[in-house]
Amino acid sequence: MAKKKSRKSRTSNGIVGTRKSPRTSLFNTTERALNQQAAWLKGKRVMLTIPNPDKTATNERMIRVEARKVWGLPPMLKRKESNAG
């Protein structure tokens, strides 16, 4: 036998969760990019997520790459390299 309902009048509205506002997600992505750039300028190892250049690899649409391969050496390290050589 099934258990009797505890309430008859109270039913769920069907709301599972609330969506983030688009402004918040845009702010977070911009803030993240600025933080990554600041870390790269300090010479830290930064990883970027970029679209996969190999279009045949459909299982990996985005790949993680080190920022130095995409942006090159930070200006601080370029100066050190040119002075040493």
The DSSP line for the chain is -PPPPS-SS--------PPPPHHHHHHHHHHHHHHHHHHHHTT---EEEEE-S-TT-TT-SEEEEEHHHHH-S-HHHHHHHHHH-
Domain that holds residue 74: 47-85
> Residue 42: inside a domain, yes or no?
no
**Residue 24 domain-assigned (yes or no):** no
pLDDT reported for residue 5: 65
Q: 61-85 pLDDT, tens per residue?
A: 999 999 999 999 998 877 777 777 6
Asked, for residue 8, whether it belongs to a domain, the answer is no
Is the residue at 74 inside a domain? yes
What is the predicted pLDDT for the residue at 77?
Answer: 79
What pLDDT does residue 58 have?
85
Residue 54 lies in a domain: yes
Q: Which residues of the chain have pLDDT under 70?
A: 1, 4-8, 20, 22-23, 26, 85
Whole-prediction pTM value?
0.62
What's the domain count of the chain? 1
